Amino acid sequence: MLDIDKLSVSFKGTKENEKVEIVKNISFNVEANERFALVGESGSGKTVTALSILGLLPESQKSGSILWNGRNLLELSQAEIRFIRGGEIAMIFQEPMSALNPLLTVGEQIAEVLEVHKVISKGEKLNRVLELLVQTGIDDPERRLNCFPHELSGGQKQRVLISMALACEPSFLIADEPTTALDMTVRQQILNLLFSIQEQKKMSILLITHDLPLVEKFANRVGVMQSGRLIETGLVEKIFNNPEQEYTKKLLDSRPKPLNATFTKRSVLVEVRNLSCKFDIGRSFFSKRQFSAVSRESFVIYKGETLGIVGESGSGKTSLGLALLNLFSGKLSGKISFDSIDLTSIKSRNLSPLRKRFQMVFQDPFSSLSPRMTVGQILREGLSLHYPSQSDSEKIKKCESMISEVGLERMHLDRYPHEFSGGQRQRIAIARAVILEPELIVLDEPTSALDVSVQAQVLELLMKLQTNRGLTFVFISHDLAVIRAISHRVVVMRNGRILEFGSTSHVLKQPKNEYTCQLLDAAFSHEN
């Protein structure tokens, strides 16, 4: 069906007449009704390969061939490619928020695909859009039809992208990281949806991902890419059980492993009693409406432990994490004590000096790091605020020591955030938090968008920092495999309530709540 032969893709470099080769002489094929996966680290050339198939890299130079039903896509005109794109071959893009037009409703965007490829009446178009929304499992499709992207959850936006891709009933579907940053239950729903559609429509699917468990569950065959080259292909069972290449072995070995560490209770660092977190979500003529993100929960965090908080999107994980640091923007009730200091009643002027004792690492380091500041300036900013008596030379020395501790080099202090990879930016965000010598760090989805090998590096770094500095972590994640790899105890949340709480090994091996069982099935069914 699709046959790629000796494909190379290069772009103009920063220097005159310089060419940077991203994809290097790769060959593979995808048969009819087959699920083929391309895996590899970020920057390995996976997405560039996918975009080349659809002719979405106009500024690039390509050689080799991409045969689609006997036609070389690289030799077709833009008009011919546009006819195939969306009609015969469709693509689900990686980031739904940037792939969807924020100014058009869901219905308008799906209808637009139909208008390009089909002669269709207004009534037929509306019926087809509703049919697609029903097919992809979007709740209340008549209402969602008129919603804008920002009104939908991550899983719902991903379903809209799938609806757009399926609109013209393509025979070949490219799915580029379709489950990135989705929680486990939604991820499983999307996976089941793709399975179901593929079986119904008898289409071929090319899956682009760094999610190895997803590949193990979904694909028939897999190709491993490294630095633009396709180094290994074969049946999933063969590649995962008996890889030939050292890089493939390393990639598979990077999957999170159970921590299997016992934690001895120490003194209490944080005590939470009857904590509730509420948002105002609008008002009627007579009253305000509120949404309860966390509902009257109590627990303690011990010094030196990693407490994992897991749950689907909207469960209250992030709200709870923000509340622990007195950063929650809504209304708090109950009591949060940090080292016997009541944070819920303390005045702002008295809270500021305490800030250096508890820090936060956010999900997206690119948006949390100022693009106008160098790494050195980012690290010195906190030192200048909390340690004003330190000399410039002392601050520089501390920054150099810190950047080395997180696995970066002295020269990186003079660079800007955009010059780094996602994993490097996350190291910088961790360095910014740790340099203030806090006792508690809340980490909100710090590995969600990282490939498996970089994820392993970040987890290893965090555990090293914890051992060396005696840090206490609250680690928020939707990824149970990551939680299992780093947490001593785990909290399972849903709809603002704690459903289960205990040692990680006990909760994951002997779950008591049905929802926990669902999470475990979504996360680890490939291990059974």
354 and 492 assigned to the same domain: yes
Average pLDDT, integer, range 110-123 = 87
- pLDDT score at 527: 67
Instruction: For residues 151 and 272, state if they share a domain.
Output: no
User: Do 132 and 110 meet the contact criterion of CB atoms below 8 Å apart?
Assistant: yes
Question: Which of 169, 190, 216 is the last residue before a domain boundary?
Answer: 169
Q: Is residue 196 in a domain?
A: no
Residue 469 sits in the same domain as residue 345 = yes
Q: Does residue 99 have a pLDDT over 90?
A: no
Residues 164 and 304 in one domain: no
In a domain, 296, yes or no: yes
- We report the CATH number of the domain holding residue 467 as 3.40.50.300
Q: Which residue, among 405, 432, 434, 402, has the nearest Cα to 417 in the 3D structure?
A: 432
201 within a domain of the structure (yes/no): no
**Span 441-451, mean pLDDT?**
87
Q: Which residue has the higher pLDDT, 271 or 188?
A: 271
Mean pLDDT of 284-312: 86
Q: Is residue 263 part of a domain?
A: no
What is the number of domains present in the chain?
2
Its domain, for residue 145, covers 96-169
What pLDDT digit, counting tens, does each position of 326-369 carry? 999 889 999 999 999 999 888 888 888 899 999 999 877 777 89
| Alpha carbons 390 and 396: distance in angstroms, whole number | 10
In the block, which residue shows the tokens 């779950």?
A: 511
Residue 233 lies in a domain: no
Do both 278 and 159 map to the same domain?
A: no
pLDDT score recorded for residue 514 = 93
Domain match, 165 and 277 both: no
**Same-domain pairing of 330 and 467:** yes
For residue 320, being part of any structural domain is answered with: yes
Interatomic CA distance for residues 74 and 174, integer angstroms: 17
Residues 338 and 468 in one domain: yes
CA–CA gap between residue 49 and residue 352 (Å, rounded): 50
**Residue 390 located in a structural domain:** no
Residues 6-15, mean pLDDT to the nearest whole number: 86
pLDDT of residue 280: 78
Give residue 212's pLDDT band: very low, low, confident or very high (50, 70, 90).
confident
Whether the per-residue pLDDT at 58 is higher than 80: the answer is: no
Our measurement of the distance from residue 145's CA atom to the centroid of its chain's CA atoms, rounded to an integer in Å, reads 26
Kind of pairing between the strands at 61-68 and 35-39? unpaired
Of residues 59 and 172, more confidence is placed in 172
- The last residue of a domain, from among 169, 198, 225: 169
Last residue of a domain, one of 169, 191, 210: 169
Specify if 143 maps to a domain: yes
| pLDDT tens-digit readout, 449-480 | 788 888 889 999 999 999 999 999 999 998 89
Strands (E), 133-236: 172-176, 204-209, 221-226, 229-235
Same domain, 139 and 285: no
Q: Give 285's pLDDT tier (boundaries 50, 70, 90).
A: low
- Measuring CA to CA, how many Å separate 314 from each of 59, 88, 154, 292, 520? 40, 36, 10, 11, 18
CA angle 114, 70, 52 (to 5 degrees): 60
User: What pLDDT digit, counting tens, does each position of 138-164 carry?
Assistant: 888 898 899 998 888 777 888 899 899
Average pLDDT, the chain: 89
55 neighbors 48 (Cβ within 8 angstroms): no
Question: With pLDDT > 90 as the criterion, what percentage of the chain qualifies?
Answer: 58
Amino acid identity, residue 285?
Answer: F
